[in-house]
């Protein structure tokens, strides 16, 4: 159990707000900085945070034992570079970013030697954003992935495990930065590229009345925040391009079998996909 800590959430959106609410239940002190006055006012009014500011507040930053960045991926490195002069000595810094290779090394290379940064990816979310939709229940079915490097201490890793337990994540595990980005490129980013491309391949409004569950399931995630996902894709470009190419090769291989009327090959592909999918049944 983590006892009596002060957490600062920087960027109080859906994820940061949900973490604030989950940690508040354990009687930690929760501070937040967000440029949006509505977000801070709402969180103060609802008791989600103890103190908040819409500006850089050196005192607030300096009081935090743990700083959680809920900022957009492209902003994190600069925010830490500019504000680490206010960090408490010994502070642990972490984040919620969906791609790790583009930020973990950079932050660990610039960070003050008396502080520690450890990469964390809570694989949780909603189709809506903002602290107004925050809800710690989003962590109940979710994975918390920790991506430590050789610059991290066992103490920091253990702390994140304990924090993940307090937030009631379903599963807490470790991956290297490289493994994480390869995995997330396939399971999450490629699936979003497919959903978006299926939606965009055909102006199919007139097909709505015939649409069943298959098409709805495959395109649900085609509703997407264009700013966040463009940043995430750009930061994982090499992995994602490779995953797209492998997928396109496989679908073209299927198309060739269909065109050549190679029914045995088609059946074999259906058998393989059926067998593999069974591992993913809940």
Q: Which residue has tokens 């490195």?
A: 77
Min dist. Cβ of residue 251 to a second copy (A): 4
- Residue identified by tokens 């103490």 is 155
Q: Is 168 in the site for a second copy (CB under 8 A)?
A: no
**Rama region for 242: left / alpha / beta (φ>0; ψ in -120 to 50; rest):** alpha
Output the smallest distance, CB 121 to a second copy, in A: 10
CB of 127 to a second copy, least distance (A): 10
Angstrom distances, CA of residue 52 to CA of 11, 21, 24, 32, 252:
11, 14, 14, 5, 53
Residue carrying the six token digits 């599963």 = 171
Smallest gap from residue 48 Cβ to a second copy (A): 25
User: Among 243, 228, 231, 124, which residue's Cα sits nearest to residue 193?
Assistant: 243
Q: 3-state class of 177 per DSSP?
A: helix
Determine the Cα–Cα distance for residues 1 and 73; give it in Å rounded to an integer: 29
The span from the CA of 113 to the CA of 39, in Å, is 33
The answer for residues whose C-beta is within 8 angstroms of residue 90's C-beta and 6 or more apart is: 65, 114, 115
Question: By CB under 8 A, is residue 37 in contact with a second copy?
Answer: no
- CA 104 to CA 106: how far, in whole Å? 6
Stretch that binds a second copy, among 7-15, 27-35, 38-46, 186-194 (CB under 8 A): 186-194
Choice between 1 and 208, CB closer to a second copy:
208
Binding piece for a second copy, criterion CB under 8 A, among 25-33, 41-49, 51-59, 202-210: 202-210
**Contacting range for a second copy; rule: CB under 8 A; set: 8-16, 40-48, 104-112, 185-193:** 185-193
Asked if 197 touches a second copy (CB under 8 A), the answer is yes
Near a second copy in 250-279, by CB under 8 A: 250-252, 254-255, 258-259, 261, 263, 266-274, 276-279
Q: How far is the CB of 172 from a second copy (least distance, A)?
A: 11
Q: Does 207 bind a second copy (CB under 8 A)?
A: yes
When the beta carbons of 150 and 279 are compared against a second copy, the nearer one is 279
Comparison of 39 and 123: residue with beta carbon closer to a second copy: 123
Residues whose CB falls within 8 Å of the CB of residue 207, separated by 6 or more in sequence, listed in order: none
Q: Is 74 among the residues that bind a second copy (CB under 8 A)?
A: no
Residues in contact with a second copy, shown as a per-residue x/- string from 104 to 143 under the rule CB under 8 A: -------------------x------------------xx
> Which two structure tokens, joined as six digits, stand for 120?
């964390």
| Residue (153 or 273) nearer to a second copy, CB | 273
Identify the residue among 18, 106, 183, 235 touching a second copy (CB under 8 A). 183
CA distance linking residue 282 with residue 267, whole number of Å:
25
């Amino acid at each position: 159990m983590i006892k009596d800590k002060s957490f600062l959430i920087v960027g109080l959106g859906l994820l940061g707000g949900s973490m604030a609410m989950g940690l508040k239940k354990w009687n930690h002190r929760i501070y937040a900085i967000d440029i949006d006055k509505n977000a801070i006012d709402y969180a103060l009014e609802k008791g989600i945070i103890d103190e908040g500011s819409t500006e850089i507040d050196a005192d607030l930053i300096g009081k935090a034992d743990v700083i959680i960045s809920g900022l957009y991926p492209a902003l994190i490195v600069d925010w830490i570079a500019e504000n680490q002069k206010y960090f408490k000595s010994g502070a642990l810094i972490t984040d919620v970013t969906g791609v790790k290779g583009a930020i973990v090394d950079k932050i660990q290379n610039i960070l003050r030697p008396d502080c520690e940064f450890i990469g964390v990816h809570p694989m949780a979310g909603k189709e809506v954003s903002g602290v107004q939709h925050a809800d710690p229940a989003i962590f109940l079915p979710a994975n918390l992935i920790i991506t430590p490097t050789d610059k991290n201490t066992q103490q920091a890793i253990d702390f994140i495990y304990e924090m993940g337990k307090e937030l009631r994540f379903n599963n807490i595990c470790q991956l290297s930065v490289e493994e994480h980005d390869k995995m997330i490129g396939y399971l999450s980013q490629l699936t979003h590229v497919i959903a978006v491309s299926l939606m965009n391949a055909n102006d199919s409004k007139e097909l709505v009345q015939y649409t069943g569950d298959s098409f709805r399931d495959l395109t649900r995630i085609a509703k997407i925040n264009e700013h966040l996902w463009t940043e995430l894709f750009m930061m994982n470009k090499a992995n994602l391009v490779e995953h797209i190419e492998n997928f396109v090769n496989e679908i073209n291989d299927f198309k060739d079998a269909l065109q050549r009327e190679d029914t045995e090959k088609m059946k074999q592909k259906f058998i393989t996909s059926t067998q593999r999918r069974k591992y993913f049944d809940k």
